[in-house]
Structure 1
Amino acid sequence: MKAHVGDRLVMEAIHVGEPRRVGVITELRHTDGTPPYMVRWLDTGRESMVFPGSESHVEPPHAPHRR
């Protein structure tokens, strides 16, 4: 997985009833765009370091947001 600052990180729910989480990548820790990423979550506004798993994908900022 590779990303750029401003891309969206989408983490699909892995348990029934959990919501998907969407955040904006605010900082890269590696120049090649590989994880971990600093992400500002859209639902809480909080920022955290994320090591995305297989349930995650990156969307460019101009892509239509899938719900």
Structure 2
Amino acid sequence: MGDRLVVEGARDDTHRRTGVVVAVRGSDGDPPYQVRWEDGPDGHEVLVYPGPDAHIEHG
């Protein structure tokens, strides 16, 4: 863990989001990923199925 999930803003009214992957819930490293968004409330984690506008930055 410790990798970052980066979701680019796909439209003009959305912004880039970055979060820390705290757990991988799928098999063989596949999504969903449990992510703590850097711009979210402290400690708030969500399950994410990344779309085509997302990529992983290995930490």
TM range (shorter): 0.7 to 0.9
Decide which structure has greater strand share. 2
**Structure 1 or 2: more helix by fraction:** 2
Q: How does 1:1-67 map to 2 (within 5 A)?
A: 5-44=1-40, 45=42, 46-61=44-59
Q: Which 4+ residue blocks in structure 1 deviate beyond 6 angstroms?
A: none
Residues matched between the structures, number: 57
Percent of paired sites with the same residue: 46
Consecutive unaligned residues in structure 1, runs of 5 or more: 62-67
TM-score scaled by length of structure 1:
0.77
Given the two structures, how large is their TM-score scaled by the length of structure 2?
0.87
